[in-house]
A and B are shown apart, each in its own frame.
Chain A
Amino acid sequence: GAGVSQTPSNKVTEKGKYVELRCDPISGHTALYWYRQSLGQGPEFLIYFQGTGAADDSGLPNDRFFAVRPEGSVSTLKIQRTERGDSAVYLCASSLSRGAGGELFFGEGSRLTVL
């Protein structure tokens, strides 16, 4: 597609449930990033993929969060045993650049609400 696509755009779930958020990057972009943005705050880095591998996962807050990119294109962010504090907009971005040094193209985000 023309831009980064994220689904679902909105997700409401109950505390303790499992959630998957999907990101379809711009075709040909090898780098893919996941961020979390809470209201009034800057995007918080979660994980960065270069191709299929996680080049930097230092931002994942705990072991309930996991992300995959099995074929080097679409990525899925998985959150187990959701907590109310996980509520935020989850942004995905892709970049043509290898390494952390190029423009990030963001998707519209997936707004997660944990009740």
Chain B
Amino acid sequence: GENVEQHPSTLSVQEGDSAVIKCTYSDSASNYFPWYKQELGKRPQLIIDIRSNVGEKKDQRIAVTLNKTAKHFSLHITETQPEDSAVYFCAASSVFGPGTRLSVLP
């Protein structure tokens, strides 16, 4: 079955800096790669997703890139703000990675 790895497990950045989270997956048949944000005590919510026929997608300060050959995909957040602090999960289809705790320091 699918296996998703995610790095780093924790990430601290200064407000205004960029944050990058990287994931790898194992099943070459996977074709849908969402990213979810989970704030403390709340449910995961989708922030951006990408499908296998696209290499990059951007939505304001958030971008995702996908390398299907290498089975890598990454989340990029620019101009980080304190409200970006949360746990971020990548997923390949319905299998989630272990998460990255992002802290944005004011």
Contacts and interface: CB of A to CB of B under 8 A. Distances in A.
Nearest to A101: B32
Q: Chain A contact residues: over half helix, strand or loop, or mixed?
A: loop
A58 B1 CA distance: 9
Contacts of B49: 103
B4 to A, nearest CB: 8
A48 B1 CA distance: 14
Contacts, number: 46
B32 A100 contact: yes
A50 B89 CA distance: 24
B94 A100 contact: yes
Interface residues of B, number: 21
Contacts of A109: 43
Contacts of A33: 94
Interface stretch (B13-21, B62-70, B73-81, B95-103): B95-103
A106 B89 CA distance: 14
B94 A45 contact: yes
B45 A100 contact: no
Interface string B39-61: 00011111001010000000000
B44 A106 contact: yes
Nearest to A44: B96
10 contacts: A33-B94, A41-B98, A42-B96, A42-B98, A45-B95, A91-B44, A104-B94, A106-B45, A108-B42, A108-B43
A-B CB proximity, top 6 nearest: A101-B32, A100-B93, A106-B43, A42-B96, A100-B94, A42-B98
Given A91-B44, A100-B93, A106-B43, 10 more contacts: A35-B96, A42-B97, A43-B89, A100-B32, A101-B93, A103-B49, A104-B36, A104-B44, A107-B43, A108-B42
Interface of B: 1, 6, 31-32, 34, 36, 42-46, 49, 51, 89, 93-99
Interface of A: 33, 35, 40-45, 48, 56, 58, 91, 100-104, 106-109
